[in-house]
Amino acid sequence: MPLVAHTDLPTFQRLHDEGEEILTPDRASHQCIRELHIGLLNIMPDAALEATERQFFRLVGACNQIAQFHVHPFTIDGLERSPAALEHIAKYYESFEQIKQDGLDALIVSGANVTHDHLQDEPFWQPLTEVFEWAKSNVTSTLCSCLATHAFIQRCYGVERTRLPAKRWGVFSHKVMDRHHPLMAEINTRFDVPHSRYNEIFQRDMEKHGLKVLVASKEAGVHLAVSPDGFREVFFQGHPEYDDISLLKEYKREVLRFYHGERDDYPPYPEHYFDDEIKRLLADYAGHVRDAKAAGFELKPMPEAQIVEHLEVTWRDSAKAVFNNWLGKVYQITNEDRRLPFMNGVDPNNPLGL
């Protein structure tokens, strides 16, 4: 069912322009359909702040449960922000205090960029863990993405992530490890997921602490795992929310970092993402970048329009299916008073009855 544009957040208009069905509050008020209220803790850096909104809003809006989805973006202290980003947040985001007062049915926590070797040294660590602790007692299910997964598992299960020898970067094939789990209903047993990270929590460490691994890759490790009860906490190490151009944007940023002397080596391609035609274009462009850097002249734009024509999305259907299953279970479990989610005889230690 559709998203409800309950604020003036520009993301709603952007999604409407892309063909998504977005309800106005007036139209929503005339439908006899139950609401679901979903928090989005957006801790991505400024360059990806609004794109992350759109990516997660799309996945929520694609779900076909009989519900109206109200998504409530908010953020936390400890993140360096530009004046423009602070203005966007002040105008369109809610405060965590307001979120706590109103309550949520479910919570999504985005990834983030880090500047320290250990997450507990990040300026946002304390406010982030405060959200985790509140969610454990007040939200039916919390879905964490990438960095948020690492932070939640470290805080609540005592497992610190491991630095990888090289960045895990690309689109990788994954296998469903537990076909009978409700989150895996009607999903292909193999599907692709983008990854972009320097760190990992390994399957053996997750399982040692009682987490259930649902989807994993021989190349990329665990993508999807859940808490011991099977549902209260959902962990992504990959990025199923990514657009077709997300990895291209990251690659472009790394090329610019090389040009400006912020990295010594020319960036490798994200794995299994660019086809041979794109690689030929980028090889020619790499020659130009090196020449421009050596001679000190201006860099020409990357031929993105030509590249985009060859990009393929091989993960979106599975991403939508997982979100559909997740919010479907949230809908079944929650009481209409979203501040009291574990009513109606549901066991909070085994909400799926597994």
As a whole number of angstroms, the distance between CA 205 and CA 154 comes to 11
224 Cβ contact list (under 8 Å, min separation 6): 183, 213, 214, 215, 234, 235, 236, 237, 238, 322
**H or E stretch covering 162:** strand 162-176
Beta bridge partners of 69: 3, 36
What ranges do the domains of the chain cover? 3-243+314-333, 246-308
What's the confidence (pLDDT) of residue 333?
86
The edge-to-edge listing of strands for the beta sheet with 22-23 is 22-23, 3-4, 68-74, 35-41, 106-109, 141-145, 233-236, 221-226, 212-217, 162-176, 190-200
**H or E stretch covering 18:** none
Answer for the pair 142, 107: CB distance below 8 angstroms, yes or no.
yes
- Annotated catalytic residue within 6, 72, 122, 146: 146
- Annotated catalytic residue within 150, 181, 195, 239: 239
- Annotated catalytic residue within 50, 53, 241, 250: 241
CA distances from 304 to 164, 166, 307 (A): 29, 26, 5
Dihedral sign computed on CA atoms, order 335, 339, 340, 342: positive
* Each residue's pLDDT expressed in tens, for the chain with a length of 354 residues: 567 788 889 988 887 787 767 778 777 665 657 789 999 999 999 999 999 999 999 999 988 767 888 999 999 999 999 999 999 999 999 999 999 999 999 999 999 999 999 999 999 999 999 999 999 999 999 999 999 999 999 999 999 999 999 999 999 999 999 999 999 998 999 999 999 999 999 999 999 999 999 999 999 999 999 999 999 999 999 999 999 999 999 999 999 999 999 999 999 999 999 999 999 999 999 999 999 999 999 999 999 999 999 999 999 999 999 999 999 889 888 865 554 444 444 565 666 656
| Residue 236: count of CB within 10 angstroms of its CB | 25
As a whole number of angstroms, the distance between CA 28 and CA 184 comes to 30
What's the confidence (pLDDT) of residue 340?
47
144 belongs to the catalytic site: no
State the residue for tokens 């008073």.
337
Answer for the pair 293, 305: CB distance below 8 angstroms, yes or no.
no
Answer for the pair 195, 169: CB distance below 8 angstroms, yes or no.
yes
As a whole number of angstroms, the distance between CA 322 and CA 331 comes to 14
Q: Which fold has domain 3-243+314-333?
A: Rossmann fold (3.40.50)
250 belongs to the catalytic site: no
As a whole number of angstroms, the distance between CA 19 and CA 12 comes to 11
